[in-house]
């Protein structure tokens, strides 16, 4: 039986579990991730076997001009997910900071560093991409 990894939004209304994670996880420095997460970068990973346990009716989506879709909790505003334009809802990346338990994810890259905030230092231990991988 696969272990489940649980997470939630800030207010606890949206609860979810996932079965596993992609091997690639990155700190994204694009301006949209910075604004959406309110931080120097957003750290996301593609998840597999996502189940919304509660609060699915509170999930809202913002579709950016470039067609990317960002999912958040309507109640508390927590940044939860990201999808590329045209991707099915099953292929979602979740913000790793929303997990309530330790997860087996290792950050391996920094992406869209051409857009990084001038006050943020890049980690020299990660592979760096000026744009996407």
Strand 20-28 to 109-111 pairing = parallel
Coil/strand/helix, residue 61: strand
Q: What angle do CA 45, 14, 10 make, to 5 degrees?
A: 80
Answer whether 113's CB lies under 8 Å from 29's CB: yes
Q: What is the pLDDT of residue 94?
A: 96
Q: Would residue 64 count as lying in a domain?
A: yes
Query: pLDDT for 100-127, tens place per residue?
Result: 999 999 999 999 999 999 999 999 999 9
Query: pLDDT for 13-71, tens place per residue?
Result: 999 999 999 998 999 999 999 999 999 999 999 999 999 999 999 999 999 999 999 99
Domains held by the chain: number: 1
Query: pLDDT for 76-102, tens place per residue?
Result: 999 999 998 888 777 899 999 999 999
Range of the domain at 91: 5-128
Q: What is the pLDDT of residue 1?
A: 54
Distance between the two ends of the chain, CA-based, in angstroms? 33
Q: Would residue 81 count as lying in a domain?
A: yes
Q: Indicate which CATH number applies to the domain containing 40.
A: 2.170.150.70
Pick the closest to residue 15 from 94, 86, 127 (CA basis). 94
Q: Which pTM does this prediction carry?
A: 0.90
Q: Would residue 119 count as lying in a domain?
A: yes
Q: Would residue 113 count as lying in a domain?
A: yes
Quote the DSSP letter at residue 118. Answer: T
Q: Would residue 133 count as lying in a domain?
A: no
Coil/strand/helix, residue 32: helix
Strand 127-128 to 42-48 pairing = unpaired
Answer whether 44's CB lies under 8 Å from 82's CB: yes
């Amino acid at each position: 039986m696969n272990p489940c990894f649980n997470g939630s939004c800030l207010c606890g209304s949206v609860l979810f579990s996932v079965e596993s994670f992609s091997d690639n996880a990155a700190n994204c420095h694009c301006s949209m991730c910075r604004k959406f997460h309110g931080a120097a970068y957003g750290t996301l990973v593609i998840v597999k076997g996502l189940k919304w346990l509660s609060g699915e009716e509170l999930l809202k989506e913002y579709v950016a001009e470039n067609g990317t879709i960002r999912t958040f909790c309507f109640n508390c505003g927590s940044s939860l997910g990201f999808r590329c334009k045209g991707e099915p809802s099953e292929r979602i990346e979740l913000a790793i900071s929303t997990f309530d338990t330790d997860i087996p994810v290792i950050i391996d890259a920094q992406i869209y560093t051409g857009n990084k905030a001038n006050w943020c230092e890049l980690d020299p231990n990660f592979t760096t991409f000026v744009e996407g991988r």
